[in-house]
Amino acid sequence: MLKRVLIANRGEIALRIIRTARKLGIETVAVASEPDLGMPYTRAADAVVPIGPGPANESYLVFDKIISAAKRTGADAIHPGYGFLAENADFAQAVTDAGLIFIGPTADSMRKLGGKAEAKAIAIAAGVPVVPGYQGEDQRPEILAEAARGIGFPVMIKAVAGGGGRGMRLVEREEDFAALLASAQREAEAAFGDPRVLIEKVVTAPRHVEVQVFGDSHGNVVHLFERDCSLQRRNQKVIEEAPAPGMSPELREKMTSAAVKLAKAVGYRGAGTVEFLVEGGALGAKAPWYLIEMNTRLQVEHPVTEEITGLDLVEWQFRVAAGEPLPLEQHQITCNGHAIEARLCAEDAAREFLPSIGRIVAFRTPTAEGLRVDAGVEAGSTVSPFYDSMIAKLIAKGPNRAVALERLKHALQETVVAGVKTNAAFLHGLLSLPAFESGEMDTGLIARELDRLNAKGSDPVAVAHGVIALIRQQQRKLEEQRRRISDEARSPWAALDGFQLGPSRKHSLDILVEGNKTTVEVSWVGGEPTVEVEGQVIQLQRDRVTTVDDGDRVFVLHNLRQTEVCWPTYDAAAADETDGEGQLRAPINGRVAKVFVEEGAVVDKGQRIVVIEAMKMEHVLVAPRGGTVGRLTAREGQQVTEGTVLAAILDS
């Protein structure tokens, strides 16, 4: 067995690997960028090595830093987790050349199967059906555009390397192809260091079904059943479950056999996932199905497979890397019950899912039967702009799908995250959709239901609770001051409970709700204040609302949404920075990935001006009106904070 393993990753997956390593008596070494120093995974490891600044291309993606850290700490193997270098064949080869064990497939297998184009060619030779498309080496834009026209729009652009929805763009019209191609290539280069793409036909109303496979160095390959990953937004998985609901035994046999056949064709070793699209949304025996790619690594959603099989896939990875044969043969692997996973992400669903960055003030997840939580953060952790927005995974297991679903919905309701916004309400709404509850979904379900799923606008109940919390804060501060001034026993003349003789009194209070000035009316009847928001007197609901104090602001959680309420601050120096009609501001902390214009350029309303990259996602900022670019402060490669003025569009 391995003695010491360096984990070339961070956050939740690093903690997940450490947990199994500790069970097996394997020591662990963590690596950490500057923003990650002190994160929970670094404290859980036996040793930690700093590897540089926050941007991944200066830390987690630098081969020499990772391999040097492994050698200095006496590690005999490197586990890449998922993302970053997990599917980089050159890194796998560099690890092997350095005399270390790479916990994953060989570099040769990764090159053959890790690239979508290469995998399709192998699949075609093996008789596995593939999605029609272009996977050639000629990557000139004009060649790719010609291929797209030949396939027929709509088409999907996909990064050849990596996964997780990075570098994927749906192109519905030919006139949009060039811009979306450039965007996909930039994102692929930033995420995987490889800008190559392929073009595929868009399969109508597909279900996304993947098969977990495992191979060893003795020629054995098995499958561990399938997962359904059809619920996706912007090509990124949101909810995953195992087994796939409605899967016919005949289709399961075809797909799992094809997955094993593909892995055996290259002598595959370790964990891998073979991904398919099933056309039409149903998983019947005669449904058309196509291979789309193989991910040559452990998947984010591997816990649902662990829950239905009772197996530890990370332990299997360790044993296979150490040269052991697979722990079980195919006939010994069974499927029991149902498991569903939800990815809890730090993002603001009401603002087009912009990543939510900052300090986590409170973080609590429930303990319940059939519930597993894989988290990478805790109260006090900081969500930085450099990495993926996922902060935890909630996995519910039950004897059947209905029980697992109810357990997961309840877990989301009981989860408390304050300080950054999360997609908890969005996830709960998604799990409650009739189409999902019945198992009748496809990859387009979220897009069709997005308006129903995203509650926008203010939450008057949350605002009222926030106001009460702010008033209580002030009362506590006044009481502390009173006690410092005099130690006289408390008298009714010094009471701060609002008691008075006479009719009720009402005050108008200015507060900030999510940074926006709001006026509320507060009335005192006896000693208990009531709050009127937007003309409505709000009844407090203490059993359904959680309030978290953080200095002079409070975070209110109601209906799984977070609302920040605080007193306004007045800063005369900020007067010059107020938004004008033509100002373009950074919507989030991030890096300027692309600037499309120069000062003095004449632009139309809606024209692309700047691309901001944060948490491996691109945010395109367009001109709010037609005019002339009068001031341009954005520079490619520049790190900017939320609210920074990037450009000003003046009247022509």
Question: Which CATH number does the domain housing residue 440 bear?
Answer: 3.30.470.20
Q: Do 79 and 189 reside in the same domain of the chain?
A: no
Inside any domain, residue 331: yes
Last residue of a domain, one of 201, 231, 253: 201
Report the candidate in 273, 602, 242, 509 with the shortest Cα–Cα distance to residue 401: 242
407 is catalytic: no
Rounded alpha-carbon distances, angstroms, from residue 454 to 238, 377, 447:
15, 25, 11
Q: Do 223 and 292 reside in the same domain of the chain?
A: yes
pLDDT for 320: 98
pLDDT for 487: 63
pLDDT for 584: 87
Lowest mean pLDDT of 99-108, 186-195, 277-286, name the range.
186-195
| Residues written for the chain | 652
- Token pair for residue 548? 């978290």
Residue 426 has pLDDT above 90, yes or no: yes
Q: Do 403 and 511 reside in the same domain of the chain?
A: no
Whether the predicted model's global pTM rises above the 0.75 cut: yes
Per the CB < 8 A criterion, the answer to whether 214 and 225 are in contact is no
Taking residues 600-620, what's their average pLDDT? 83
pLDDT for 578: 36
Give per-residue pLDDT as tens, 19-60: 999 999 999 999 999 999 999 999 999 999 999 999 999 999
Q: Do 352 and 378 reside in the same domain of the chain?
A: yes
Residue 222 has pLDDT above 90, yes or no: yes
Last residue of a domain, one of 155, 183, 201: 201
Taking residues 248-263, what's their average pLDDT? 96
pLDDT for 515: 82
Q: Do 208 and 332 reside in the same domain of the chain?
A: yes
Q: Do 501 and 552 reside in the same domain of the chain?
A: yes
Q: How far apart are CA 272 and CA 316, in angstroms?
A: 12
Per the CB < 8 A criterion, the answer to whether 224 and 289 are in contact is no
Inside any domain, residue 148: yes
Taking residues 478-493, what's their average pLDDT? 68
pLDDT range class, residue 454, cuts 50, 70, 90: confident
pLDDT for 503: 63
Domain count within the chain: 6
Give per-residue pLDDT as tens, 557-589: 999 999 999 998 654 333 333 345 588 888 877
Q: How far apart are CA 590 and CA 640, in angstroms?
A: 6
Inside any domain, residue 477: yes
Q: Do 315 and 223 reside in the same domain of the chain?
A: yes
Question: Which CATH number does the domain housing residue 473 bear?
Answer: 3.30.700
pLDDT for 573: 37
Rounded alpha-carbon distances, angstroms, from residue 531 to 467, 499, 513, 520:
8, 17, 14, 7
- Token pair for residue 593? 């990935």
Q: Do 446 and 557 reside in the same domain of the chain?
A: no
DSSP 130: B
From 297, 343, 401, 407, the catalytic residue: 297
Q: Do 306 and 412 reside in the same domain of the chain?
A: no
Indicate the residue type of 474: Q
Question: Which CATH number does the domain housing residue 27 bear?
Answer: 3.40.50.20
Give per-residue pLDDT as tens, 199-208: 998 888 999 9
> Domain of 268?
204-336
Taking residues 177-188, what's their average pLDDT? 94
Report the candidate in 422, 343, 420, 353 with the shortest Cα–Cα distance to residue 382: 420
Write out the H or E segment, with its range, that includes residue 12: helix 11-24
Taking residues 440-456, what's their average pLDDT? 89
- CB neighbour list of residue 29: distance below 8 Å, 6 or more residues apart: 4, 5, 6, 7, 45, 46, 47, 48, 49, 69, 70, 73, 75
Residue 438 class from Cβ within 10 Å (0-12 exposed, 13-18 middle, 19+ buried)? exposed
DSSP H helical ranges for 197-327: 249-264, 302-309, 313-321
pLDDT for 208: 97
Last residue of a domain, one of 509, 536, 566: 566
Express as a percent the part of the chain with pLDDT over 90: 66
Which range scores top for mean pLDDT: 290-294, 344-348, 469-473, 503-507? Answer: 344-348
Question: Which CATH number does the domain housing residue 615 bear?
Answer: 2.40.50.100
Taking residues 296-304, what's their average pLDDT? 96
Inside any domain, residue 422: yes
Residue 525 has pLDDT above 90, yes or no: no
pLDDT for 490: 61
Three-class secondary structure of residue 393 per DSSP: strand
Inside any domain, residue 489: no
pLDDT for 403: 98
Taking residues 77-95, what's their average pLDDT? 96
The conformational region for residue 353 under phi > 0 = left, psi -120 to 50 = alpha, else beta, is left
Q: How far apart are CA 195 and CA 377, in angstroms?
A: 31
Per the CB < 8 A criterion, the answer to whether 629 and 647 are in contact is yes
pLDDT for 162: 66
Q: How far apart are CA 20 and CA 280, in angstroms?
A: 39
Q: Do 385 and 441 reside in the same domain of the chain?
A: yes
Per the CB < 8 A criterion, the answer to whether 584 and 623 are in contact is yes
pLDDT range class, residue 486, cuts 50, 70, 90: low
pLDDT for 499: 60
Give per-residue pLDDT as tens, 118-139: 778 899 888 899 988 898 889 9
- Which residue shows structure tokens 């357990």? 407
pLDDT for 572: 39
Inside any domain, residue 119: no
Taking residues 531-549, what's their average pLDDT? 87
Q: Do 208 and 329 reside in the same domain of the chain?
A: yes
pLDDT for 315: 98
Residue 497 has pLDDT above 70, yes or no: no
pLDDT for 579: 45
pLDDT for 576: 38
pLDDT mean across residues, the chain: 90
pLDDT for 498: 58
| DSSP E strand stretches across 323-407 | 338-345, 347-348, 354-355, 358-359, 362-364, 371-375, 382-383, 390-398
Inside any domain, residue 351: yes
Inside any domain, residue 109: no
Q: How far apart are CA 82 and CA 273, in angstroms?
A: 12
Report the candidate in 67, 15, 107 with the shortest Cα–Cα distance to residue 392: 15
Q: Do 236 and 292 reside in the same domain of the chain?
A: yes
